[in-house]
Amino acid sequence: MKTIETSVLVPGPAEAVSALWTDTARWPAWVDGFGRTASVAPGWPEPGAVLQWDSRPGGRGRVREQVLEHRPGAAHAVAVEDGQLAGTQSVRFDPHDGGAVRVRLALAYELKETNPFTPLVDLLYIRRALRASLQRSLARFARERAADSELGA
């Protein structure tokens, strides 16, 4: 599996940061390419619960996320699958100086369809596009969290 990682520093506390991360009603504001929630299983975001969402037109299509780990204020991980890839997305919430939280997001993935050119295409295009998408999501997430923090949440 290939892994890409990125991180951002946001205002804490870690419990509030992780609560925003798993609040699917807020995802349209910060998840890159998010269109609409298709279904959310009872118990979300506890382990085993499944969430399905649809991207905007021309995006990833239907995305399925099944919770593998959920530790409020510490970590959240999901098995993620769409039409083109399958893998694990994990996020860690690490306390930082001054009451901030370092949000570390990682995606370990495998492409579903491969050919002799896949490694090169992955290196030159796909991996860069995935990293940019994660970075856009984290930048928007940081703005959402900063707004919450200003409101005292």
Contact present, 113 and 4 (Cβ < 8 Å): no
Q: Do 25 and 45 touch, CB atoms closer than 8 A?
A: no
pLDDT digits (tens, 9 = 90+) for 36-75: 999 999 999 999 999 999 999 988 899 999 999 999 999 9
| Number of domains present in the structure of the chain | 1
Residues spanned by the domain of 77: 2-150
Q: Is the pLDDT of residue 13 over 90?
A: yes
Q: What is the CATH number of the domain that holds 75?
A: 3.30.530.20
- SS3 state of residue 14: helix
pTM of the model: 0.92
